[in-house]
Structure 1
């Protein structure tokens, strides 16, 4: 998906994977559209096995996502854009190979934390149905594991356990005020990724878009 101006400064966006992509896609699209009010374009690609991709989710690997995201950056750069990266939550786990002018992360988390969240959701669903789920069942060899409605390979889960967001130069990090991890700015808001159903928050989207636009312009100058 493309938004706003096609050239100049363009934000390449990374959605979180799996169930959080469903919960945050509308919100993230609202944020990216709001960047157009600041004269900044945006692009939102689907990673292999995610969104509208025809690649089976259980065949996806973290390396695939990192390579695909870097390829999206290369395509934009060849078209004349100056690329900046914006990632939410688990999207910050696969933007590290992209050559970009700057990075902006909102509520990034480690791959281990992402897996823990999905395992907790699986345990809660199992309890509601009167069953048990042992978190140790995702380790080792075997068929893909169903977590949060997605069939995920055990190799992918193992990769995620050791994955961490990019932490190099040119990065601005925002977090919710309830998050104790370090950040350049704390935002007062409720976590949309914890809601049972997808929801939007246009006011928060505009606030984050303004912060992102200011960062992009600062790094471009």
Structure 2
């Protein structure tokens, strides 16, 4: 089912799954080129949640997915504000919301009034910026230094022109944002659960065997792994709701 949500910049679409009552999981996909590699997997995961009686939504955040808002107009803060708009939509209905983020999607739930945050393989902004820099380096065939995205601008030009990375036209301000952004810290009174792949050395509440779909050259899916993650979310929410 396709729904709509409002935020300060307009109206965007969201895919809705599961019952019209009870808690809602709001899922944020990875930013930029990774989303196409994980979207089908995310939808499978949310359908498994619906089968277990848990509602969820997959919003098109501005500048991402099918949104008509140009990515080059976006900052991380504006994306966070839009994510907060999704949460507000359900808060007005009296429903509790739980944030879920895959990879760099874990950067986007900072402003929502959430009862808990569930992150899978969370990635901080600095790590994502390094990946984008490597991609751009390969595209142009040379190494790039720190803040390379400002180097091509003519002196005195304001605003600084956007740069294209793997088909994404990104404003330098957004790239600067990434250099300091981290997933929302654990805080007293707010449930927080982190899952990582068994091969990931980062800290986690649980390590799971699975395929890093974001490393594939083409979009993919893994129904069995989506089931594992969905069951983890269901069990975690049940604990939070007690």
In 2, are the aligned partners of 1:144 and 1:154 still within 8 Å (CA)? Answer: yes
Per-residue deviation, residues 141-173 of structure 1 (Å, max 9, x unmatched): 631111122010000000011000012231000
Show the counterpart of 1:215: 236
Q: Secondary structure at the match of 1:172?
A: strand
Residues in 2 aligned to 1:160 and 1:47: alpha-carbon distance in whole angstroms: 17
Q: Secondary structure at the match of 1:179?
A: coil
Q: Secondary structure at the match of 1:44?
A: strand
Higher RCO, 1 or 2 (CA under 8 Å, sep at least 6)? 1
Within the candidate set 57, 63, 70, 2:71 is matched to 57
Show the counterpart of 1:152: 170
Show the counterpart of 2:144: 134
Residues in 1 aligned to 2:142 and 2:134: alpha-carbon distance in whole angstroms: 12
TM-score computed with the length of structure 2 as normaliser: 0.86
1:163-182 aligned within 5 A: 163-169=181-187, 170-182=191-203
Residues in 2 aligned to 1:152 and 1:189: alpha-carbon distance in whole angstroms: 31
1:1-221 aligned within 5 A: 1-126=15-140, 131-132=141-142, 134-136=144-146, 137-139=148-150, 142-169=160-187, 170-221=191-242
In 2, are the aligned partners of 1:173 and 1:185 still within 8 Å (CA)? Answer: yes
In 2, are the aligned partners of 1:89 and 1:106 still within 8 Å (CA)? Answer: yes
Q: How far is the alpha carbon of 1:104 from its aligned partner?
A: 0.4
Per-residue deviation, residues 163-190 of structure 1 (Å, max 9, x unmatched): 0001223100000111111100001122
In 2, are the aligned partners of 1:90 and 1:108 still within 8 Å (CA)? Answer: yes
Q: How far is the alpha carbon of 1:133 from its aligned partner?
A: 5.1
Task: Write out the 4+ residue segments of structure 1 that deviate beyond 6 Å after TM superposition.
Answer: none
Q: Secondary structure at the match of 2:196?
A: strand
Residues in 2 aligned to 1:139 and 1:107: alpha-carbon distance in whole angstroms: 30
- For structure 1, the residue ranges without an aligned partner over 5 or more in a row are none
Q: How far is the alpha carbon of 1:197 from its aligned partner?
A: 0.4
TM-score computed with the length of structure 1 as normaliser: 0.94
Q: Secondary structure at the match of 1:51?
A: coil
Greater percentage in helix: 1
RMSD between aligned alpha carbons? 1.3
Show the counterpart of 2:9: none
